[in-house]
Amino acid sequence: MNHSSKCLNCDYEINHNYCSNCGQKTAIHRITFNHFVSHDLLHGLFHLEKGMLYTAKEVLTRPGKAALDYIEGKRIRYYNVFYFILILIGVNLFLSGYYDKFYEYYISKFPEHVSIIQTKLDKFMNDNAKIIIFSIVPVLALNGFILFRKRKLNLSEHFIIAAFTFLGILLIVTANNILSFFAFVKHLDFISDVSDFISIIAIFTLATISYYQTFKEFYKKRSFVIRVFMFATLLMIELLVFAIFLIGYSTNWFTSDFTY
């Protein structure tokens, strides 16, 4: 074990167990196989899972309150929400690819034009996962910023509320995509249909709970319901525009050659 009066990471003067400048421990072990496995690897995996599981539980059970806790500075227990979103997008793209393969194998092949469109959509989603995050979350944030002003949160704080809400929605979508594989299991295919129905209700309920927990002290119920309705309407319009763009991209609306 190595003790030093200066941080080995940033060369800052230290007199406690952690560097006050960069946060590194002052007691540094030499890396050995036993220490690597027992401490670095297992310890890191445990805390990663713990942070992710805690964050998942919070965004599913108390998304609005969790977002407010994070805004107020209670952040150490939460896994990075945007990293989590990226991971879930990757998982869902993976599941989507295998669902298509199962569909072709067990049910029927997609028509050629549908297959081409699906391939282009998958490629677009793969290539632009980060862009999708930084478009959906800001849209939710801007809608909330416009409609819920009384709490006097700035736009960046609305980003956090939107991110926590969107993460909860993605967790529901992921669970639904996993259950969708029951469509290929005889006598259990009804589970897929039930899951689709429940997930739609769950997504709307989670989004409503998230914003209700965040702003319930600042609006009467009637006023809040009107704002939720306006929020949903705005979001539907925005999603419609995005869907039109995707359809245009996948069917070459924007790249057609015009001849005269």
What is the pTM assigned to this prediction?
0.74
User: Which residues of the chain have a pLDDT value below 50?
Assistant: 1-2, 31, 36-37, 41, 45, 258-260
Report residue 133 as tokens.
């995050």
Residues near 11 by beta carbon (within 8 Å), at least 6 away in sequence = none
C-beta separation of 93 from 137 below 8 A: no
* Domain ranges for the chain: 1-30, 45-250
Taking only the tens place, the pLDDT of each residue in 156-189 is: 999 999 999 999 999 999 999 999 999 888 888 8
Do 243 and 96 meet the contact criterion of CB atoms below 8 Å apart?
no
In degrees and rounded to multiples of 5, residue 257 shows phi and psi of -85, 125
In the structure encoding, which two tokens stand for residue 69, read together? 């806790």
Distance (Å, rounded) from C-alpha 82 to C-alpha 134? 9
In degrees rounded to 5, what are phi and psi of residue 4?
-145, 155
Task: Say what the pLDDT of residue 12 is.
Answer: 72
Residue 260's pLDDT is 43
Q: What is the pLDDT of residue 82?
A: 87
CB of 174 within 8 A of CB of 88?
yes
CA distances from 38 to 41, 45, 139 (A): 7, 11, 44
In a 3-state reduction of DSSP, which class is residue 222?
helix
